[in-house]
Structure 1
Amino acid sequence: MKPSVSRHASSARCPRCGNAFDCAMHGQPFDCWCRAMPALPADRLDPSGRCLCPECLAAEIARVAQAGSGADRA
């Protein structure tokens, strides 16, 4: 696990990898970095879960895209 890289009030810790990252959902959600990323399907979201770091969110988006491309061929 990497040491915390952020000490801002908007710091969060990723539930998957444990890395610290800045999350605007703790402050002003419309300014968060994650809004620039593709949205995950609703069935992949955990409303009670915490936000993922940029790396883990990108990996989850890639998994969803890969699964979707395989389903399109079937």
Structure 2
Amino acid sequence: MKNVAPTNVCPACGARFTCGMNAGMAECWCASLPPVLSVPEAHAGQCYCPECLTKKIGEAARR
């Protein structure tokens, strides 16, 4: 992904990161990950940062 200003803040850790969709890109980095989790209901419209989403996918896979 090209260098774009952060568009989101992770609801889990507070890290700033870029969502490709919010940045107007054709695809986001998260599209390459398995679609295991939905956006947390308590944080509607927010996404996890790459580190937290990868961690949460790993946790879900171990269940």
Identity %: 34
Scaled by the length of structure 1, what TM-score is found?
Answer: 0.64
Partner of 1:70: none
Pair 35,15 (structure 1): closer, same or farther in 2 beyond 3 Å: same
Consecutive unaligned residues of structure 2, counting only runs of 5 or more, are none
Asked which structure has the greater CA Rg, the reply is 1
**C-alpha RMSD of the superposition:** 2.4
Matching of residue 33 in structure 1 with residue 22 in structure 2:
no
Scaled by the length of structure 2, what TM-score is found?
Answer: 0.73
Consecutive unaligned residues of structure 1, counting only runs of 5 or more, are 1-5, 68-74
Q: 1:46 aligns with which of 32, 40, 44?
A: 40
Higher helix share: 1
Paired positions, count = 59
Matching of residue 66 in structure 1 with residue 44 in structure 2:
no
- Partner of 2:8: helix, strand, or coil? strand
**Larger mean Cα displacement after TM superposition, 20-29 or 58-67:** 20-29
Q: Is the 8 A contact 2:39 2:46 kept in 1?
A: no
Alpha-carbon distance in structure 1 between the residues aligned to 2:60 and 2:26:
24
Alpha-carbon distance in structure 1 between the residues aligned to 2:55 and 2:23:
24
